[in-house]
Amino acid sequence: MTFPVELFINALIAGILLGGFYAAVTVGVSISFGILDIVNIAHPAFVILGSYIAYIVNQRLGVDPILTALMVLPAFYALGALVYQVYYVSFEKRGQEALRGLAFFFGLLFVTEVTLILVFGVDYRYVQAAYIDQTIRFGAFDLPMRMLIPCVIALLLLASLQLFLTKSYTGRAIMAVAQDQMALQLMAADPIRIKRIAFALSIATTAIAGALLIIIQPVEPSVGREYIGRVFAICVLGGLGSLPGTVIGAMLLGIMESLTATFYGPSWAPAVAFGFLLLTLAFRPAGILGR
């Protein structure tokens, strides 16, 4: 049997495009977990929420999902700020974030999922847009627009967040709060406010990630669960809190999953991410670009 080169390259391309999208889903966790040390396992639930909002607006008004995402960005930012405030007052301030904070986010994940099931049922939902069915062809290689556009938007999102974190005053304060909260306080910046901004930002990214998700695949409420392992695998793999690391980790995972799905069948794909995570945790917990 000869090695199917074309199939391999197509799978590789699909993997890279998928990886770009994974980076968008993960970047929020890279900020909340990687930088702020808040284990927000409910992150994928917010992504699914974003997907459903994009779905409703698309269904009723025919608006493009990405445009919708940009419009609801402030609302998601506010939601994030609210969640952080509750988290801070109830857990961080009392020093109970380890056990109860985790349970809190787990409960949040669960409540969101069940509420979505109650409202929308467990049917798969999808959006319509002109570009979704189009594909660019280079000889034997395919670039489906439904994957390409999310990947491009995701990389734009990552690049602008990286610029914000390294160049702006607030962004640098966010990086500083990860290193030394006390020192930041001495520089006359309120660490709680900075953390609230950062966490709100991390939730705001889920509006975009959700829209991208529903462009790529039909969504039902429990899809989010598959992403918990993925996002944390990528986050740990990329070295907590590093955005370039996030992109590399996401691309790696995307390629691995795409190759597995192509050569062994899609039913094995979920195990790849989690197997990857378990191995990373066991052998290189600091990640590839770890500090």
Partner 1 sequence: MRTPVFIVAALIVAATVYGLARLAGNDYVFFAGYVILQFVVLATAWNVLGGYCGYVNFGSAAFFALGAYTTVSLVKLPNLAAKYLPEGLASLVAATVPPPIPVLMIVGGLVAGLVGLGTGYLTLRLRGVFFAIATLALAVVLQTLIVNWDYVGGSRGAYVIRPQTLAPAGINYVEYLFVMMLLLSVAALTVARAIERSQLGYGFATIRDDELAAEASGVPTLRLKLVATTISGALMGMAGAPFPYYIGYLEPSSAFGLAYAVNSIAMPMIGGTTSWVGPLLGALLLGTLQQVATVTISSAVSLLLVGLLLVGFVIIAPNGLLGLFGSLRRRMGAARAAGESAKAGAA
Chain residues in the site for partner 1 (CB under 8 A): 39, 41, 86, 90-91, 94, 96, 98-100, 102-104, 106-108, 110-111, 113-115, 117-118, 222, 225-226, 228-229, 232-233, 236, 267-268, 270-271, 273-275, 277-278, 281-282, 285
Residue 168 to residue 214: CA distance in whole angstroms = 32
Cβ proximity to partner 1: between 33 and 55 the closer is 33
Buried b (16+ CB within 10 A) or exposed e, 52-64: bbbbebbeeeebb
Cβ proximity to partner 1: between 35 and 151 the closer is 35
The radius of gyration of the chain from alpha carbons, rounded to an integer in Å, stands at: 19
Which ranges of 30-64 does DSSP label H, i.e. alpha helix? Answer: 43-61
**Greatest Cα-to-Cα distance within the chain, rounded to the nearest angstrom:** 67
| In the complex, minimum distance from the CB of residue 278 to partner 1, in angstroms, rounded to a whole number | 6
Cβ proximity to partner 1: between 10 and 85 the closer is 85
Cβ proximity to partner 1: between 13 and 42 the closer is 42
| In the complex, minimum distance from the CB of residue 117 to partner 1, in angstroms, rounded to a whole number | 6
Cβ proximity to partner 1: between 119 and 182 the closer is 119
CB 112 within 8 A of CB 46: yes
| In the complex, minimum distance from the CB of residue 258 to partner 1, in angstroms, rounded to a whole number | 16
Written as six digits, the tokens of 107 are: 């409960």
| In the complex, minimum distance from the CB of residue 14 to partner 1, in angstroms, rounded to a whole number | 20
Cβ proximity to partner 1: between 78 and 278 the closer is 278
- Return the axis-axis angle of helices 191-216 and 43-61, rounded to nearest 10°: 50
**Phi and psi at residue 88, to the nearest 5°:** -65, -50
| In the complex, minimum distance from the CB of residue 45 to partner 1, in angstroms, rounded to a whole number | 11
Quickly tell me which residue has 């639930």 as its tokens.
45
Written as six digits, the tokens of 276 are: 């990857």
DSSP 168: S
| In the complex, minimum distance from the CB of residue 153 to partner 1, in angstroms, rounded to a whole number | 27
